Amino acid sequence: MLKTEVIVIGGGATGAGVLRDLALRGIEAILLEKKELTSGTSGRNHGLLHSGARYAVNDPDSGRECISENFFLKKIAAPCIEVSGGFFVSLPDDPPDYPDKLLRACKHLNIPAQEISPLDVLQKEPAVSSKITRAIHVPDGSLDPFRLIRANVEDAERHGAKFFSHREVIEILKDGERIKGVKVRDARTGEFLQIQSRFIINAGGVWAGKIAHLAGVSLEVLFSKGSLVVLSQRLVNTVINRCRPPSSGDILVPNGPALILGTTSKTVEEIENPAPDEEEVDLLISEGEKMVPEIAFTRAIRAYAGVRPLMGAREGQEDGRRISRDFLALNHGETDGVKGFYSVVGGKLTTYRLMAERVVDALCKETGNHNPCSTAEKPLPFPEGYAFHDLSAKLYGLGKSDHSQGMEEIFCECELVSRKEITQEIQNLVHPSLNEMQQRTRAGMGPCQGGFCSHRLTALMAEAGKITPAESLSLLKNFLEERWKGIRPVLWGPQLREEQLIQALYTELFNLDHHE
Amino acid sequence: MTERPLRTWGIFDLMILEPWNPFLFMIYDVIVIGAGLAGLMAAESAASKGAKVLLLAKGLGSLPLTTGCIDVLGYFPSTSQIPLAAPLVGIKQLAGHHPYTQLGSEEIIAALTRFQKTIASENYPYNGSGNANILIPTSLGSLHPTCLIPETMGQGDLSLAEPALLLGFEGLKDFFPQFIANNLTLLHEKGRVASAFRGEVIKRPDLGGKATNALTLAQAFDNKDFRERLVKEVRSLLHPGERIGFPAVLGFHSPREVWMELQERVGVKIFEIPLPPPSVPGLRLYHLLKSHLQKKGVRFFVGFSKLTPSIEKNRIIGLTLGEPGKNVIYRASAFILATGQFVGGGLDSDRYRIFETLLGLPIRYPENRKEWFRPTLLTPEGQPFNGFGVEVDRNLQPVDFQGRIVYSNLFAAGGIITHADSMNEKSGGGVAISTGYVAGKSAAAFAKNH
């Protein structure tokens, strides 16, 4: 039977952060994820590196955590962060007292916020509406959540930890009041497996309540669905926030070659397969247009939704906006009498590292491990040559290389991903997944959303022996169905035109609609 | 560029115009709008009736986006998993409003025959007839039922029992021979395909420093030396008793000669497999039909950004490239709208509506954008938006929701006509050819009488 010291449940930012923290402190650990890395909320957000200013007024604790983590992440994860800075901009209809409130609150929390003149904003960001009345600069940024989280897992693995995807915990085993291990189901083979451990850290995000229930612990998590829209062009190079209390459509994040419009907020009961609808898309676009009018004429290439796990009272929460974005790290041995069981829930992507530190600190206190946390100092590992938002660098490189040779090796024309990059990453795949290939290489993340390259990726995976012929076309079909969910709400104008061509490719040419 | 003031045309301008310039002949019997298969067939059939025809198109038309094969009806009902054996039998069972039903079998047969005759006269014959579907391999290793195929694809018929070797080219992105062969062999094991397949890659084809893609390969195949060098390598890869499948890149200008010569020199049967766009067989078809039509006296004006119709009561009197009053107006007795759907540019949309782009013809569509699509993508029921278009009567004249003819001298052909989802029923080419053929005839007859 497999045996370890700590089992971490949940392959999101928190779980990955916890695994790395444990590994760096020399504690043996296994991370279990029921689907793939980042397939939950961690892969369904706007990739914002918070400065904390968004929470400064109403949620100062979160604001304080965000700014200190903002500083640490820029140190340890620089390659996957773009230090773009952010503006809070006031439009004529926005509450006139909010900018001053924001400035005061930021000063109190030591968030470097500085008022600048609207004219200076327009000079730096000409696409921003000329109607803005005031503007405040803050140290917001953007990050690549997929790469950040993968880097945490890879670093943990280098230090002896293990990660298993597609393993769902279906039972938590106890010896009296003491944790003994877990029973997991392999989602791909259907086989069951037991793993022994002295401790469990529940980092299940929106599923944390369910996991706690398996241990006989009650943990109430509130669910708030947030939808986002991806535009095909950045339009701005700075994060643009609406200078008013948190609301739908109040943020634009330039992320890689795209612009992400966020976010709606609605408390929900259903947490599986969150999907945006047409009304949310229309709302985000019409609110976004007010800050950057060009949005009205820019192609929306995808919409998606994630569910935030929030800690707080359920009563009277229509949209979950007033609940703190703070997190909890719980030792259920102390609070519920289940020894060896810990939960860490709530928080933000920006604060994942701090959450991990807190819960591992608590665990170390129990075990008497005195190794200090080092995740805030030690840089994360990134693949050689990796750079976030390197489209222009890639284009420059292509121009310098022998043009003809360069272009023919480009397998994803939108994001300029070469055959070499793809075949390299295929070697790193444990389980064949087009989704993971996208996240690893950005292939298929551009305007056509993999419409013209996913069959190439499938063929390369098959030729590398990662999938059998029998699997290949069903893998491709499943990918196309997932893709469809994200693009359906944004199909109109040029995007609809391109989609008809892509459908012709898969139906008229490949006849996949009649393929068994 | 826009600095120059606009001015009217003077005699000097007319003198320097090249002889092919359509400005010299501004009054026509029939003007066809659109250079896809429907538009080209409409021009062919109108010109065959003696009409003076002008074809206007914003761009190349959508043939380079197709396989070059003519699907007539692949599945009926469209949800069926089994390809239809005979398209012409399936057509008789289609719903009453389907464009095929409007036309009737006789016209469809006549249209397909006319297409085959026309293209054969350009030394690029198509095999097959409406009486039978042929199963051909796709470049993904799945099956595609189609009806008329270029002779150069004929030996790819999946009912043939000889084993096949698929040959790809290093650097060609959309043709992975081993992958395709493995998928087809799997279908062979399931009894769906008569023979087994295997794949090999030809290393670094010598394209004189050009990037490897379908277009550069096709150009290379037009070159005798390139073929000569290739034949040796192909022979060395071949096992006895095999036929050979290439990606559809065997030459642009004289594909039939290239194909026949290769078969002769290698000594085995050879076939082409269609690739994703840009499609060489689609481009061949476009250029051959265009040159055929030009020989027949049809004039082409391809490549402009704006077309403005001039309307008098319920009649179209002409079309202007650009703004009316500032530019020349092309007049005709009858007009054929063959602008396609969204890809072709005949239809467009915004967040709230679908519209016909040239004349604002009435289009029926659900108000809620959600209902333009289905929750699943690859459903044999098809996506509603692929069936959107203009309603027509039996003469292929666009009608409004009450069934009244919108413009007395307007006809429609191809994808712009509603009630045919060519993608899931696999009928695109057949609908284009037959509606083009009939619209061309009707428009020519209309022009003669008015």
Query: Are B29 and B62 members of one domain?
Result: yes
Peptide bond into B77 cis (omega under 30): yes
Is A515 close to B348, i.e. CB distance below 8 A? Answer: no
Query: How many Å lie between the alpha carbon of B447 and the closest alpha carbon of chain A?
Result: 34
- Residue A476: closest CA among chain B residues belongs to which residue? B140
Question: Which of A407, A500, A501, A502 has the highest number of chain B CBs within 10 A, making it the mutation to test binding with B?
Answer: A500
Cα radius of gyration (chain B):
23
Query: Are B176 and B32 members of one domain?
Result: no
Query: Are A497 and A425 members of one domain?
Result: yes
Residue numbers of the domain that contains A134: 79-141+223-308
Determine the Cα–Cα distance for residues A263 and A246; give it in Å rounded to an integer: 10
Residue A55, in any domain of the structure: no
Residue A217, in any domain of the structure: yes
* A459 touching chain B per CB within 8 A: yes
Report whether B262 contacts B231 (CB < 8 A).
yes
CB-nearest to A411 from B173, B368, B370 is B173
Peptide bond into B278 cis (omega under 30): yes
Sign (positive or negative) of CA dihedral A467, A468, A473, A478:
negative
Query: How many Å lie between the alpha carbon of B403 and the closest alpha carbon of chain A?
Result: 28
Residue numbers of the domain that contains B298: 24-126+276-342+361-376+401-450
Residues in chain B with CB shorter than 8 Å from the CB of A401 are none
Residue B355, in any domain of the structure: no
Domain boundary pick from B268, B287, B320: B268
Report whether B173 contacts A443 (CB < 8 A).
no
Query: Are B413 and B283 members of one domain?
Result: yes
Query: Are A249 and A163 members of one domain?
Result: no
Q: What share of chain A is helix, strand, coil (3-state, %, to 5)?
A: 40, 25, 35
CB-nearest to A488 from B71, B145, B373 is B373
Query: How many Å lie between the alpha carbon of B199 and the closest alpha carbon of chain A?
Result: 11
Residue A379, in any domain of the structure: no
* A258 touching chain B per CB within 8 A: no
Determine the Cα–Cα distance for residues B205 and B202; give it in Å rounded to an integer: 7
Q: Mention every residue, 6+ apart, whose C-beta is less than 8 A from residue B136.
A: B69, B143, B144, B146, B149, B153, B156, B157, B158, B273, B274
Query: Are A181 and A241 members of one domain?
Result: no
Q: Which residue in the block uniquely carries the two structure tokens 């037959």?
A: B434
Question: Which of A511, A512, A515, A516 has the highest number of chain B CBs within 10 A, making it the mutation to test binding with B?
Answer: A511
Residue B1, in any domain of the structure: no
Residue B394, in any domain of the structure: no
Which residue type, as a one-letter code, is found at position B358? Answer: L
Query: Are A11 and A150 members of one domain?
Result: yes
Query: How many Å lie between the alpha carbon of B177 and the closest alpha carbon of chain A?
Result: 10
Return the number of other C-beta atoms located less than 10 Å from residue A185's C-beta: 17
Q: Which residue in the block uniquely carries the two structure tokens 């009486």?
A: B131
Query: Are A232 and A131 members of one domain?
Result: yes
Residues in chain B with CB shorter than 8 Å from the CB of A278 are 368-370
Q: Which residue in the block uniquely carries the two structure tokens 């609609």?
A: A513
Domain boundary pick from B268, B288, B314: B268
Report whether A415 contacts A442 (CB < 8 A).
yes
* A297 touching chain B per CB within 8 A: no
Residues in chain B with CB shorter than 8 Å from the CB of A285 are 351
pLDDT at A51: 98
Residue B156, in any domain of the structure: no
Query: Are A360 and A402 members of one domain?
Result: no
- Residue B204: closest CA among chain A residues belongs to which residue? A405
Which residues lie across from B200 on neighbouring strands?
B167
Query: Are B264 and B290 members of one domain?
Result: no
Q: What is the DSSP string of B288-305?
A: HHHHHHHHTT-EEEE--S
Query: Are B311 and B260 members of one domain?
Result: no
Query: Can you list the positions of beta strands (E) in A317-447?
Result: 327-331, 341-346, 410-412, 417-418
Query: How many Å lie between the alpha carbon of A177 and the closest alpha carbon of chain B?
Result: 47
Is B211 close to A404, i.e. CB distance below 8 A? Answer: yes
- Residue B64: closest CA among chain A residues belongs to which residue? A501
Query: Are A250 and A397 members of one domain?
Result: no
Which residues lie across from B417 on neighbouring strands?
B390
Query: Are B201 and B229 members of one domain?
Result: yes
Q: How far is CA B347 from CA A99, A498, B295, B344, B418, in A?
A: 46, 13, 31, 8, 11
Q: What is the DSSP string of A273-319?
A: S----HHHHHHHHHHHHHH-GGGGGS-EEEEEEEEEEE-S--TT-SS
Is B378 close to A511, i.e. CB distance below 8 A? Answer: no
What average pLDDT does the structure give for chain A?
93
* A409 touching chain B per CB within 8 A: yes
Query: Are B103 and B175 members of one domain?
Result: no
pLDDT at B10: 46
Determine the Cα–Cα distance for residues A283 and A280; give it in Å rounded to an integer: 5
Residues in chain B with CB shorter than 8 Å from the CB of A472 are 179, 183
pLDDT at B16: 41
CB-nearest to A509 from B274, B375, B379 is B274
Query: Are A128 and A237 members of one domain?
Result: yes
Query: Are B262 and B325 members of one domain?
Result: no
Residue B386, in any domain of the structure: no
Return the number of other C-beta atoms located less than 10 Å from residue A213's C-beta: 12
* A192 touching chain B per CB within 8 A: no
Query: Are A332 and A479 members of one domain?
Result: no
Q: Mention every residue, 6+ apart, whose C-beta is less than 8 A from residue A276.
A: A227, A228, A229, A264, A303, A304, A305, A489
Residue A488, in any domain of the structure: yes
Paired sense of beta strands A341-346 and A192-202, if any? parallel
Residue B390, in any domain of the structure: no
CB-nearest to B182 from A407, A462, A497 is A462
CATH number for the domain spanning B445: value is 3.50.50.60
Query: Are B333 and B424 members of one domain?
Result: yes
Pick out chain A residues at pLDDT < 70.
312-320, 322, 390, 399-408
CB-nearest to A470 from B178, B186, B379 is B186
Q: What is the DSSP string of A441-474?
A: H-TT-STTTTTTTHHHHHHHHHHTTSS-HHHHHH
Is A513 close to B424, i.e. CB distance below 8 A? Answer: yes
Query: Are A119 and A150 members of one domain?
Result: no
Pick out chain B residues at pLDDT < 50.
1-19, 24
Determine the Cα–Cα distance for residues A455 and A510; give it in Å rounded to an integer: 10
Residues in chain A with CB shorter than 8 Å from the CB of B182 are 462, 469
- Name the domain count of chain A: 3
Is B343 close to A501, i.e. CB distance below 8 A? Answer: yes
CATH number for the domain spanning A88: value is 3.30.9.10
Query: Are B256 and B286 members of one domain?
Result: no
Is B377 close to A484, i.e. CB distance below 8 A? Answer: yes
CATH number for the domain spanning A208: value is 3.50.50.60
Residue A317, in any domain of the structure: no
Report whether A229 contacts A490 (CB < 8 A).
yes
Which residues lie across from A344 on neighbouring strands?
A329
Q: What is the DSSP string of B357-405?
A: TTT---B---SSGGGGS-SSSS-TT--GGGG--B-B-TT--BB-TTS-B
Q: Mention every residue, 6+ apart, whose C-beta is less than 8 A from residue A104.
A: none
Residues in chain A with CB shorter than 8 Å from the CB of B383 are 503
Query: How many Å lie between the alpha carbon of A66 and the closest alpha carbon of chain B?
Result: 37
Residue B176, in any domain of the structure: yes
Is B377 close to A481, i.e. CB distance below 8 A? Answer: yes
Residue B135, in any domain of the structure: no
Determine the Cα–Cα distance for residues B79 and A332; give it in Å rounded to an integer: 55
- Residue A501: closest CA among chain B residues belongs to which residue? B343
Q: How far is CA A179 from CA A21, A32, A166, A198, A213, in A?
A: 21, 16, 22, 6, 14
Write out residues 33-62 of A within 8 Å (CB-CB) of B.
none
- Name the domain count of chain B: 2
Query: Are B285 and B365 members of one domain?
Result: yes
pLDDT at B17: 44
Phi, psi of A88 (to 5 degrees): -100, 120
Is B426 close to A508, i.e. CB distance below 8 A? Answer: yes
> For chain A, what is the largest distance between any 2 Cα atoms, rounded to a whole number of angstroms?
68
Q: How far is CA A281 from CA A229, A267, A286, in A?
A: 7, 17, 9
Determine the Cα–Cα distance for residues A105 and B171; give it in Å rounded to an integer: 58
Is B343 close to A497, i.e. CB distance below 8 A? Answer: yes
Query: Are B216 and B260 members of one domain?
Result: yes
Determine the Cα–Cα distance for residues B267 and B235; give it in Å rounded to an integer: 9
Query: Are A185 and A93 members of one domain?
Result: no
Is A492 close to B350, i.e. CB distance below 8 A? Answer: yes
How big is the A-B interface in CB pairs under 8 Å? 148
Return the number of other C-beta atoms located less than 10 Å from residue B12's C-beta: 8
Determine the Cα–Cα distance for residues B269 and B109; give it in Å rounded to an integer: 30
Query: Are A89 and A230 members of one domain?
Result: yes
Is B176 close to A460, i.e. CB distance below 8 A? Answer: yes
- Residue B423: closest CA among chain A residues belongs to which residue? A508
Report whether B71 contacts B146 (CB < 8 A).
yes
Domain boundary pick from B240, B268, B296: B268
* A286 touching chain B per CB within 8 A: no
Which residue type, as a one-letter code, is found at position B170? Answer: E
A509 DSSP 8-state letter? I
Determine the Cα–Cα distance for residues A118 and B133; give it in Å rounded to an integer: 67
Q: What is the DSSP string of B157-191?
A: -TT--S-EEEEEETT-TT--HHHHHHHHHHHHHTT
Is B348 close to A493, i.e. CB distance below 8 A? Answer: yes
Which residues lie across from B55 on neighbouring strands?
B32, B300
